[in-house]
Structure 1
Amino acid sequence: MLRSVITGTGSYIPPVIKKNSDFARENFHSEPEKAINLPSLEIIEKFRQITGIEERRYAPENINASDMAAFAASMAIKDSGIDPESIDQIIVAHNYGNVVNQTVQSDAVPSLAARVKHKLGIRNPYCTAYDILFGCPGWVQGLILAETAMKAGSAKTCLIIGTETLSRVIDRYDRDSMIFSDGAGACIVEYKEVGDEPAGILGAASRSDCTDEVDFINFGPSYYSEAEDNTRYIKMKGRKVYEYALKHVPQEMKHCLEKSGVSIDRLKKVFIHQANEKMDEAIIKAFYSLYGIQKAPEHIMPMTIHWLGNSSVATIPTLYDLVRKNELTDHALVPGDVVLFASVGAGMNINAVCYQLV
């Protein structure tokens, strides 16, 4: 039986650590022209209690999104043991392209995937390289696209990367700026024989809600009137995002398991987008309640948000790479384990992939 199998993973965790205490001197606003009349340290502590974030990682000044993507890709290629020239597709998920340090101007021409192919030194002209914009669920959507290409016979080996430098598009006066971080994660997926039992990618589900939800996460001006003119930053309607995610993500996770023919009791891990600890915990609780289970299994949800923050498309592949390589306490995987990748983000988009380790 031919199935799409993850044969290698890699990640780039930036070395620059930004702690919560580093935001102590900021003058936070909750919306345009509305300052938050609380001491910064109190705002920061409330933020930590809700999100779980204590520190995050920023890319060094001389490193951009495509650089991080190439680093993570090189690790995934080495881990898989494949010849880079055998890669049929390079899929790079991001949202803002390359953003040069101290600017907020996006650079996505040529595509980040083309730049990654160049950095990897791949000369095969039939290795197609392209980007996808799908909000934070971009890397998971890359898995879905790779699976589609493999089933269609247009690819046998794909490199899927998620990379982002959100630290370069944040408004320092917006308290939500403390959520975002930088990083990159990658994997190699090969279409290969796995035997008679189902394995690899078992099924997927995705949806896009683009009516009232379309601007829940967007690009907008600074909350501070005296900030630079004509400069725009990542903005988020936090309460709207939370309510949307809690309402729809558990349903799509269940939908994915049903399409995959997998029972809830077989699920070993849920690799969910690291957006907000309280939100992720609520999603997992709601997901299991759909099956009449009031308490999720212990250690079902690995978390890195406490020290890595929310690096958008990079969160899930980085998390999976760390667990796969036994670098997170209380989390390990063995062949035969069934896991679920699930994400939600700008669009608003939701997706999930059910995967059984080979």
Structure 2
Amino acid sequence: MFQSVITGSGAYIPTEIKRNNDFLDQQFYADNKPLTQPAQQIIKKFQQITGIEERRYVVPNINTSDIGFLAAEAAILDAGINPEEIDQIIVAHNFGDVQENGRQSVMVPAIACNIKQKLGILNPNCIAYDLIFGCPGWLQGVIQMDGLFKAGMAKKALVIGAETLSRVIDKYDRDSMIFSDGAGAIIMESIEMPEKQQGILSSCAQTYSYSEADYINMGISFSPVPDPEKMYIKMLGRKVYEFALLHVPQAMKLCLDKSGMAITDVKKIFIHQANEKMDEAIIERFYALYGISTYPEDVLPMCIQWLGNSSVATIPTLYDLVLKHQIPEHALEPGDLIMFASVGAGMNINAVCYRY
């Protein structure tokens, strides 16, 4: 039986560190009016809610394609494969290549095509394309490749999540402190092995867009004198929080139940690094669905405290950090059952059960 297995991983963590104290001189606005609380008070409350102490931004001369390439290069090296053997390259992102202070995203050619070019892959049968699915985009690429493997349409794939959110944030919006830049990538292969020995066991994906689609959207600046032609990422924070706590645990349960495994078998949960308190509440509610009041302390690795929310890049980056022993209190052993889960713009949710 053929299983979808992750055989290599890589990440690019930008070098520019933006600490919370760097926002002390920033005047934040809401409804085009200045917030009356001192910046120090706003930042302190922000850190208490999100857990974020610092985040990473790319330097001016590189963009999403560049950092996606660097993460991909690391994953290929880690897997020890010939890039010419890759059948598909999927790049999850949401904003394309955005130049610093640019007014327009560059989406053509696709980021995946740019990365294929940077990798020097000549094989025309290596199909390169982008996936826009909000923050769950990278995980959706993993789910998509699992299906293509099972359909016999590919044997090796490169799945990348890359984003430069620092170039689409409104500095007058306090929510801008959540977002960061980064890239993560994996090599997936279809490998023949005994069932459930390793690889993807089950998956789940959902879209709630009837009344929820605009919870995360694009809008003009909160500046007192906004430019009506330039748009920035915006979100209805309370709506997103309530949505995630209601729906993500249910989707995770659906995925785990499909795998046939028990909640007590789960060793690690790699959840989208959106908001520390929100992620912890999601996992608490997930375990509560099985009648467990407290989840294991070592089940939830996190990097949001120092990397912020880099959208599609958070899960593959976190996974790579754990595998490369960069988060000392967390490690994986062969046979461990892990889960991936994400939520984001759309509103989209997905989850994957994976035997390491």
* TM-score bracket for the superposition, by shorter chain length: over 0.9
User: C-alpha separation between the residues in 2 aligned to 1:55 and 1:216?
Assistant: 25
Aligned counterpart, 2:201: 202
Judging changes above 3 Å, is the alpha-carbon distance between structure 1 residues 176 and 104 closer, same or farther for their aligned structure 2 residues?
farther
Cα deviation 1:60-84 (Å, max 9, x = unaligned): 1111001000000000000001110
Q: State the Cα deviation string for residues 223-279 of structure 1 (Å, max 9, x = none).
A: 123133411100000000000000000000000001111111110000000000000
User: SS of the counterpart of 1:192?
Assistant: strand
Task: Within 5 Å, give how 1:41-120 maps onto structure 2.
Answer: 41-120=40-119
RMSD across aligned positions (CA):
0.8
Partner of 1:275: 274
Shift in Å at residue 198 of structure 1? 3.8
In structure 2, what is the Cα distance between the partners aligned to 1:77 and 1:195?
25
Q: 2 CA distance for matches of 1:120 and 1:32?
A: 45
Q: Distance in 1 between matches of 2:121 and 2:138?
A: 21
Please give the per-residue CA displacement for 1:17-50, whole angstroms capped at 9, x wherever unaligned. 0000111111112x32232110001100000000
Q: Is the 8 A contact 1:104 1:168 kept in 2?
A: no
For these two proteins, the number of residue pairs brought into alignment is 356
Native 8 Å contact 2:91 2:130 kept in 1: yes
1:196 Cα deviation after fit: 4.8
Other-structure match for 1:219: 218
Q: Tell me the amino acid that sits aligned with residue 135 of structure 2.
A: C
Task: After superposition, give the CA deviation of every residue in 1:180-229 in whole Å (9 maximum; x if it has no partner).
Answer: 00000000000002235442000100100011100000000011231334
Provide the rounded CA distance (Å) in 1 between the counterparts of 2:330 and 2:144.
Answer: 28
Tell me, what secondary structure is at the counterpart of 1:79?
helix
Q: CA-to-partner distance for each residue in 1:150-207, whole Å, 9 max, x for gaps?
A: 0111100010000000000000100000000000000000000223544200010010
| Contact kept in structure 2, 1:28 and 1:175, CA below 8 Å | yes
Q: Which residue of 2 aligns with 1:2?
A: 2
Q: Please list every run of 5 or more consecutive structure 1 residues that lacks an aligned counterpart in the other structure.
A: none
Rounded Cα–Cα distance in structure 2 between residues aligned with 1:159 and 1:124: 14
Q: Distance in 1 between matches of 2:41 and 2:63?
A: 33
Aligned to 1:331: 330
Could you tell me how far apart the structure 1 residues matched to 2:55 and 2:192 are?
40
Q: Indicate if the aligned counterparts of 1:104 and 1:233 stay in contact, CA closer than 8 A.
A: no
Structure-2 separation of matches of 1:85 and 1:149: 19
Alignment of structure 1 residues 95-174 onto 2, 5 Å: 95-174=94-173
Separation (CA, whole Å) in 1 of partners of 2:202 and 2:225: 50
**Contact 2:3–2:195, Cα closer than 8 Å, also in 1:** no
* Runs of 4 or more consecutive aligned structure 1 residues displaced over 4 Å after TM superposition: none
Secondary structure class of the residue paired with 1:3:
strand
Paired residue type of 2:49:
I
Counterpart of 2:241, as a letter, is: Y
Mapped to 2, the partners of 1:194 and 1:19 lie a distance apart of: 46
Q: Provide the C-alpha distance between the structure 2 equivalents of 1:105 and 1:82, rounded to a whole number of angstroms.
A: 36
Q: Which amino acid aligns with 2:179?
A: F
Q: Residues of 2 paired with 1:78 and 1:150: CA distance? A: 22
CA shift, 1:142, in A, is 0.4
User: Which residue in 2 is equivalent to 1:320?
Assistant: 319
2:22 aligns with: 22
Counterpart-to-counterpart distance in 2, 1:194 and 1:23: 52
Q: Aligned ranges for residues 280-295 of structure 1 at < 5 Å?
A: 280-295=279-294
Instruction: Read off the aligned partner of 1:53 and give its amino acid letter.
Output: I
Q: Secondary structure at the match of 2:294?
A: coil
Distance in 1 between residues matched to 2:193 and 2:283, nearest whole Å: 30
Amino acid at match of 2:187: I
TM-score, reference length from structure 2 = 0.99
CA contact (8 A) 2:16 2:59 kept: yes
Q: Secondary structure at the match of 2:102?
A: coil
Determine the C-alpha separation between the residues in 1 that align with 2:195 and 2:342: 30
Equivalent AA in structure 1 for residue 256 of structure 2: L
* 1:342 has 2:341 as partner: yes
Structure 1 letter corresponding to 2:243: Y
Question: Which residue of the partner structure matches residue 303 of structure 2?
Answer: 304
Distance 1:193 1:297 in 2: 33
Deviations 1:84-118 (A, max 9, x none): 00000000000000001111411110000000000
Whole-Å separation in 2 of the counterparts to 1:49 and 1:170: 21
Task: Give 1:233-248 correspondences, 5 Å limit.
Answer: 233-248=232-247
Structure 2 unaligned blocks of 5 or more: none
Letter in 1 for 2:233: I
Question: How far apart in 2 are the matches of 1:187 and 1:104?
Answer: 31
Which secondary structure state, in structure 1, belongs to the residue aligned with residue 90 of structure 2?
strand
Paired position in structure 1 for 2:13: 13
